[in-house]
Structure 1
């Protein structure tokens, strides 16, 4: 084991030992309270109750990974972590042949519901404390822009209807983008503001492990950022959204904060290479990003990549952003950026441990926990409103054969969080 590996294990052991010491102290205090016939905290307080509203619950679905972690727990800093919440009800919109919803609910004492309102409490009123809205995977149609019409907005509205009827609201986490339609996404954010409940959304990419572990300070004078990735092109928006989330989670930390985006354009084929040759995006940043990718292919990019895809983003303050889908060159999400006054770019790989475990859902679930505990998202939902809008308008650019898209909907302003919430340290079990 390396010296750094020894240090990680030492810190993990010390943290575990400290936790055991605290636990022993609490046990002693509990025994003392029992002797005095005082109620313990476990008697006074119950675990907060969570409902999961899913499209499907099958192996490797997002609901399987996120709701499943609320059931089974997951690894944090090398050790098992059990969320201090109780998943009490589940509703699944579709029941595919490999549906795991009924068996999972039966095995773990979860009520499998027939309606969304039933999952939230129905006749008893709103008797849960937080909602997971996980509408990813399943059999849904595509529109003329090539977007999967996941009914996130429609199911969100059904949840909100219960809030309005009961006069009570609770935090909602929406997996991935808010909606394929940026107008509906904006309505969701406005509804949360109007009813004053916490709303969190987004990808696991901004909080997964980074190699190396870079976190630019808020106010960094970025000039340009670039993300490279490589995934199937059949449904472009699926991974397009993840790439925009990587880009935005970094570029929002630039000097002056997030002041909105002027335009987005989607390019394919030779037009991508031509844009790089014309310095509309940086070959140097592409090389820096790829240098961090373990999956990087050998050989020239122009020979390897059969149909490059790019989205070019121009921010209102003049900063540039690029995402590049180079499927034959890499399967990792790499990031690089140039900074004013720096001679060399910064770069990192946003690391995704492989399925079936897909441990990048560990940091996402932990950040959801923080949100459910406080009612305040650890990073602004406005980021996901902006990335949802970017994804939608980039798909319109594809439909319009590479047209530059401008829209006031891209004028989203917000302040970046001081801590991005990404996981440090080991991503495997200690032992």
Structure 2
């Protein structure tokens, strides 16, 4: 088939989602600049996209987390425990870094709060009370109302219970999880159109100054991820190995992070990480489990995204966030990040869970999710690069640390 015979639809299918999102950003910006009145009419397209995200987010969290726990295999004799500790420590540390950065460099967003009642929590005790009530909420009502904390609690409980069910039941649940993932991918394929409508309507209504807010937000996000990759993670590795961590850090960033940056999928980067682990001489029974597991639960980049965007919404709405609540947000962000979807933009769909800690309703939280998609061309790539490269880094640190410990005691 010659280049001249390729139809526009075929050319569109061959174009990556990242390129399409960039085209949507540029098209929306140009339309808002040249024809602001016409650009305002594209608001409906953005609303449809946001509504689709609201519809898919609750069932996504429920099914994926439940299936992940139900199909978790146990019993292998590996060094998984120290790796799990490093995964959780790194994810929590990343969330804390995001809290500090958001406090020092607060971001503002353009959000519509018309006809939306906002009730700010009175303090950490009220937050904990609301958290407990959300956990024990009716599962059907939690799904209907988008109560992500309740959804997460029921998903964990059901996942643990179904682990004792027959293999057929767990296989059906895994197939259901795959089906939900397909639907999510279909929704996200419409991200370029949704972003086009959101950018065009936002810029035509609020002016091009809105871009400055997005630029600041993106700078805070990428800055946090770079700080974690180049400072926090090396400190954790040094604590584990007691030697210069940077040769290992740069190897993981170069051979895993760069690939993940362009694939934008931790799951797609698993073969790359397995091959790198083999070249590093790590224990095969360990990395064959820890690398796929890390693609699901080691989500430092997702914790940063959830925390920064949530605190940006808090700052925009003028809600006071005391330090205990911010620390609680770090814990929740770390937990949420472990359940982040493996598809592009999966962490953004967990922002409403963190926003609920501050009494921010789902209508506004999903606007924050839409903002995340606007900046997601770079944000999601950097997030995936951090997540995937850290999988190998912490696996290597734990394996080498255990080997050195055995060598000293021998």
- Identify the TM-score tier after normalising by the shorter chain: under 0.3
Larger Rg: 1
The TM-score, its normalising length taken from structure 2, stands at: 0.28
Normalising by structure 1, what TM-score? Answer: 0.27
User: Whose relative contact order is higher, 1 or 2, with alpha carbons under 8 Å and at least 6 apart?
Assistant: 2
* Structure with more of its chain in helix, by fraction: 2
Q: Judging by fraction of residues, say which structure has more strand.
A: 1
